[in-house]
Amino acid sequence: MRTAAGARATFPAVSRSRARLRVRGEGIFLLPAAVYLLTLALYPFVELVRMSVSQVTSDNIFRDWPFIGINGVQAVATTADFHEAAVNSLMYVALVVGVGLAGGLAAALTLWRGGRVAGFTLALMVFSWALPGLINGVAWRFLLDPRGMVDSILGLFHIAPVYWLVDGHLPLISVALVNAWTVVPFATLVFRAALLDLPPEILAAAEVDGARPRQVLRHVVLPLLRPSILVLGVLALVYAFKSFDFIYVMTFGGPGTASTTLPFLSYRLAFEIYRYSQGASVALITVAIVLLLALLYMRQVRREERA
């Protein structure tokens, strides 16, 4: 007969073996995702880095690429086009993040208490959020045309047509606001879920103490929503910074370079004037910025999980 001590010594070994089998089983299920990422993410990224440190043109793209080192990236980063695209990107991201989060918070506060109207409104928001950027961009391009619905409505109030997509900085602002419009539904859903999760006793205590709704929002609700605001802010930053489809469909980076951001500058250098190395260099800088934002997001998520 086995002794009790021997039985106790056997159980940890069995549990460890089962844990190893479970980990191996999970690894098998993760294998397709790993192959997918290695094929469609890691390999193109390695080729992007190799192209950015090489001299690649339309003449030698299918032959050996002469190595030029980091000088190519530095040369692109000092050009006037890059500086203009960087400034446009900052303006674009600031508008998308600011308007998207503010609009989402305002909508979530309005729909906080629920009801049939709130449910119908949320359904419409989910529908607009789920629409592809290409369809949204095409629709808004027609709406903002001088002969479109927006200027037609303004004409009813004897307001002159506004050239939303061709006049000065208006193209960049218009595309950014349209992109922010697609951020609002997602932000609304996240903020409303966070509002419904607020401790009701804290809100009741604030009302008993005589706090006005504005004071409750400022001193109670917003501090409790701070984790959601930070996470949504980082996600919106990443989404806005890598945005390409709305600019491509609505303005194509124009007029001229008025609405050209870093992702679109990379496309223009590589696929319009066939300067593949410069396009890859701009794309590499953009990827580095997005990766930095992603690391900030992961750090914030881990901090919130520990809290």
Other C-beta atoms closer than 10 Å to the C-beta of 283 total: 22
Q: HEC profile for 240-304?
A: HHCCCHHHHHHCCCCCCCCCCCHHHHHHHHHHCCCCHHHHHHHHHHHHHHHHHHHHHHHHHHHHH
Look up residue 66 and give its DSSP letter: P
264 close to 85: Cβ distance less than 8 angstroms: yes
Beta bridge partners of 54: 67
77 close to 57: Cβ distance less than 8 angstroms: no
Residue 15, class by beta-carbon neighbours within 10 Å (0-12 exposed, 13-18 middle, 19+ buried)?
exposed
Q: Is the pLDDT of residue 8 over 50?
A: no
First-to-final CA distance of the chain: 50
Tally the residues of the chain.
307
Q: Is the pLDDT of residue 11 over 50?
A: no
Q: According to the model, what pLDDT value does residue 93 have?
A: 92
pTM: 0.82
Q: According to the model, what pLDDT value does residue 72 have?
A: 85
104-130 residues labelled b (16+ CB within 10 A) or e (exposed): bbebbbebeeeeeeeeebbeebeeebe
The predicted-structure confidence for 13-71, as pLDDT tens digits, reads as follows 545 555 454 555 566 777 888 888 788 888 888 888 999 999 988 888 888 899 988 88
The encoded tokens of residue 65 equal 């690429």
* CA–centroid distance for 65 within its chain: 33
The encoded tokens of residue 216 equal 């409750």
The predicted-structure confidence for 156-183, as pLDDT tens digits, reads as follows 888 888 889 988 889 999 999 999 988 8
The predicted-structure confidence for 70-104, as pLDDT tens digits, reads as follows 888 888 999 999 999 999 999 999 999 999 999 99
Q: According to the model, what pLDDT value does residue 21 have?
A: 45
DSSP 14-34: HHHHHHHHHHHHHHHHHHHHH
Geometric angle at alpha carbon 191, from 187 and 197, rounded to 5°: 155
pLDDT higher at 195 or 9: 195
Q: Can you tell me the mean pLDDT for 257-261? A: 92
